[in-house]
Chain A
Amino acid sequence: MNNIIVYCEVKDDGKIADVSLELCSKARHLADRLNVNVDVAVIGNNLKGLEDELFTHGVNTVFCLEDKRLSFYQTLPHFSVMTKLIEREKPYSVLFGATPVGRDLGPRVASYLRCGLTADCTALDIDENGNLMQIRPAFGGNIIATIICPDVRPQMATVREGVMKQEVFEKQKNTAVVKLNASEFLNEADFVVKIIERKLEEKKIDIKGAPIIVSGGYGMGCKENFKLLHELADLLGGEVGATRAAVDAGFAEPERQVGQTGVTVRPKVYIACGISGAVQHRSGMEQSALIISINTDPHAPINSIADYVITGDAADVVSKMIKYCKSNSKK
Chain B
Amino acid sequence: MKKEFQIVVLAKQVPDTKNVGKDAMNADGTINRAALPAIFNPDDMKALEMALECRDRIKTENNIDVKVTVITMGPPRANEIIREALYRGADNGFVVSDKRFAASDTLATSYALSMAIKKLGHYDIVFTGRQAIDGDTAQVGPQTAEKLEVPQITYADELIAVTPETIRLKRVLQHGIEIVETKLPALVTVHGNAKECRSRHAHLVIKRKNTEIPMWTADDINPDFERLGGKGSPTKVKNIENVVLTKKESITINSDDEGIRGLIEDLTASHIF
Contacts and interface: CB of A to CB of B under 8 A. Distances in A.
Contact of A143 (B152, B180, B241): B241
A193 B188 CA distance: 12
A307 B176 contact: no
A309 B251 contact: yes
B173 interface: yes
A99 B155 CA distance: 12
Contacts of B105: 116
Interface in A118-165: 118-120, 127, 133-134, 137-152
Contacts of A236: 273
Interface in A282-325: 290, 292-294, 301, 303-313, 316-317, 320-321, 324-325
Interface in B247-264: 247-248, 250-255, 257, 259-261, 263-264
Contacts of A317: 255, 260
Given A114-B234, A310-B255, A328 B146 contact: no
B245 A305 contact: yes
Contact of B173 (A150, A196, A200, A307): A200
A193 B154 CA distance: 12
A141 B142 CA distance: 24
A116 B230 CA distance: 12
A151 B252 CA distance: 49
Given A306-B248, A307-B248, A328-B268, A198 B237 contact: no
Interface in A187-215: 192-203, 212
Contacts of B196: none
A293 B151 CA distance: 48
Which interface class (under 10, 10 to 19, 20 to 34, 35 or more) fits B?
35 or more
A230 interface: no
B262 to A, nearest CB: 9
A115 interface: yes
B237 A146 contact: yes
A202 B255 contact: no
B152 to A, nearest CB: 6
A194 B181 contact: yes
A99 B251 CA distance: 37
Contact of B182 (A99, A144, A150, A193): A193
Given A148-B236, A203-B175, A269-B273, A324 B137 contact: no
Given A107-B142, A116-B234, A201-B175, A304 B247 contact: yes
28 contacts: A75-B142, A101-B174, A107-B143, A108-B142, A108-B152, A111-B144, A116-B107, A119-B135, A139-B31, A140-B17, A143-B240, A144-B243, A145-B240, A146-B237, A149-B234, A193-B151, A193-B181, A194-B181, A195-B179, A269-B267, A293-B250, A307-B250, A308-B251, A310-B253, A310-B260, A313-B255, A317-B255, A320-B257
Interface of B: 17-18, 20, 24-25, 29, 31, 105-107, 110, 133-147, 151-155, 168, 172-183, 233-243, 245-248, 250-255, 257, 259-261, 263-265, 267-268, 272-273
